[in-house]
Chain A
Amino acid sequence: MVEIARSIKAEVILLALDEPTSSLSDEDANRLFHIVGQFRSRGAAIIYVSHRLREVLALADRIAVLRDGQLVTVQPAAGMNEGDLVRYMVGRNITNLYGEKTRRLGECVLQVENLSAAGVHNISFDLHRGEVLGFAGLVGAGRTDLAKALFGDRRTTGGRVLLKGREVKWHEPEDAIDQGIGFAPEDRKREALVLDRSVKDNISLVILRQISRFRFVRRVQEARVVNHLVDRLRIKTPSTQQNVRKLSGGNQQKVVLARWLARDPDVLILDEPTRGVDVGAKSEIYRLIDEMAAQGMGVIFISSEMPEILGVSDRILVMQGGQITGELAADGATEEAILRLAMAKHLVEEQVP
């Protein structure tokens, strides 16, 4: 906001804004839109870059769509809707953004019984192979705490966890990974990626020991695995030696997913995997989640975006205040039903007086 304010002082002819709302609250964003409007009426030309389609449609007079570094189209905003934009961005017609679900549930791979840890209380659920289990809720509902407790990054205070029928307990993420759990955290830059290392190093990070002989990394094998995954996930990078820092958000996230595909865990926990990712990469990530499930992984999918959690999950657990407040089958569930469970406690409290 300060940076934006700084540019306002000067007499501006051209104002360029690159994802200005990505770090703003809704309230601040609305103020920003108002200010942008003022500039426009004073005769300034404005370039507004954003991956939030609604903003662009509401603000812009003309919309330019870029894909893979090339200008796809420039059109008046008046004649366009979100569907048009998505089509231009992805380059093909996405009738169903979430793809076809091809799920075949296998045996139960993870059982959680009355698990408690810092931030979560008395959590119980089952997860099957080939299943995508959505965890919905408002921010701060305890979903990330649960993920970290399951991954051994947070001490559990009660209950038990059975992986493939055997009770497990771990002190470090290292143990969880050894036993077959993977975790792609919410904040990929801070928690998942080593930004100044290469795409290759970041992908092979969790399989280094497996592809080493006498502690020496077998480089040919490493290159084969990495190249295969870069192709399969269509990670856009000039080479596998590129620093991950230089990749776009969507491609960075694909690097994190590639890492876990290489490892092929029994259970993979994805915490907000599509945050800050453009629509094209989002639909690819949905497809990948489907492939992971088809591979036989049990996938825990944490998301705050209602449409995607409805579109991707087989079942949805809703959390609030560190507890599970309800379960919904994805077919037939609605955003409203999820929200009601996500705010269940508030609703109950309001009814009391």
Chain B
Amino acid sequence: MTSKEISQTAPGAPTPDKSGRRTGWVRSIDPQLLGLAVALGILVLIIGVQVPGKFFRISNLLNIGQAVTLIGLTGLASTVVIISGGLDISIGSIVGLCSAAALAMVTLDNAAFGIVAAVGIGLTAGMVNGLLITVGRINPVITTLGTLSAYRGIAWIMTGGYAVGVSNKAFNSIGSSEILGIPTPLVILIVVAVLFQIFLAYTDVGRNIFAMGGNPTAARLAGIGLNRYKLGIYMLSGLCAALAAIVLTARTNSGQPASGSAGLELEAITAAVLGGTAMSGGVGSVLGTMLGVLIIGTLNNGMILLNVPSFYQFVARGVLLIVAMLIQNWRTRGTQ
């Protein structure tokens, strides 16, 4: 992102919303996304001016790319969950749980086992969430708040509280290899993002997810089986958590019940909200969330480069979510 680009996009930012926005991605390149791009550009400028030598180095940019993979995979999952009118705050814990599971299987010295274990556990954890929400009729926030703690605890029990090393070359290569010069984790994120975009914009299921979030009663009376959809959506969230766990475990060469995944739900939800996903459901886009992910990744990286103490980083992440919500409220008030 260069300053030239910014000067081109800036005038477009304050233009009023056009009709038909948020429907299909071509039209959704709207003021909101331009605003996000401008925010990202400003962020890059500020950090770039402070530590130009470090920030713009290729290795650092690839670093950001790696770091955003986790936020990206969980952020995309959160986007779909929130569009459908739900919320999954257990997603970070599921990542930790899957990571522990992957570790346990990889110690048998088979990379495929590790992947299957992570995916299986992720889907199961998501299914438990989905069943509690649909059959148990528990509010999604409460459900996933409970499982947030429970899943984390199970992960601790499985690993005995330690981050144990993984020494399987094939498995570790997922984290360290490159495809066409791009780190494999980043390739995984890009592929998943493209699949999500196709899923949401072009399939009947994706379109129905927007409808059920926008008006659940109308969706039910139009023949959308809400419980089946919810179950599937929380399982999708678990699947994305499993992918994130595989990347995390492979990259750090260890099973990480907590250190690598704690607080991930916060960043995932922040990315979605920054990207314009409405907490009330029915509105959101893959492109917006990906911009939100980049903003968070850049901010995190910048804070490290600028030696911001980690306690202050926590404050900054929390404030970012709140600010994102405030911006969203302010926007929707403008349209009504």
Contacts and interface: CB of A to CB of B under 8 A. Distances in A.
Contacts of A286: none
A343 interface: no
Contacts of B204: 208-209, 212, 215-217
Contacts of B220: 153, 172-173
Interface residues of A, number: 37
A243 interface: yes
A282 B165 CA distance: 72
B283 A194 contact: no
B23 A198 contact: yes
A139 B138 CA distance: 34
A216 B20 CA distance: 21
Contacts of B202: 216-217, 219
A195 B214 contact: yes
B224 A191 contact: no
A259 B20 contact: no
B211 interface: yes
Interface stretch (A89-97, A159-167, A177-185, A311-319): A177-185
A173 B225 CA distance: 8
A254 to B, nearest CB: 16
Given A212-B203, A212-B204, A217-B203, A259 B211 contact: no
A196 B221 contact: no
A22 interface: no
Contacts of A79: none
A40 interface: no
A197 B221 contact: no
Contacts, number: 92
A77 B264 CA distance: 67
A215 B232 CA distance: 15
A165 B308 CA distance: 74
Contacts of A212: 203-204
Interface in A170-206: 172-174, 176-178, 183, 185, 190-198, 200-201, 205-206
A151 interface: yes
B20 A197 contact: no
Interface string B195-229: 00000001111011011001101111111110000
A192 B20 CA distance: 19
Interface residues of B, number: 26
B215 A193 contact: yes
B23 A185 contact: no
Nearest to B23: A198
A253 to B, nearest CB: 14
A151 B203 CA distance: 26
A238 B215 contact: no
Interface in B218-256: 218-225
B135 to A, nearest CB: 14
B54 interface: no
A238 B20 CA distance: 10
Given A196-B282, A208-B204, A201 B19 contact: no
Given A197-B211, A206-B223, A242-B19, 4 more contacts: A196-B282, A197-B210, A216-B202, A217-B207
Interface of B: 19-20, 22-23, 27, 202-205, 207-208, 210-211, 214-215, 217-225, 282-283
19 contacts: A151-B221, A153-B220, A173-B220, A176-B223, A178-B223, A185-B221, A190-B218, A193-B215, A194-B219, A196-B22, A196-B282, A197-B214, A198-B23, A200-B23, A205-B208, A205-B211, A216-B203, A219-B202, A243-B19
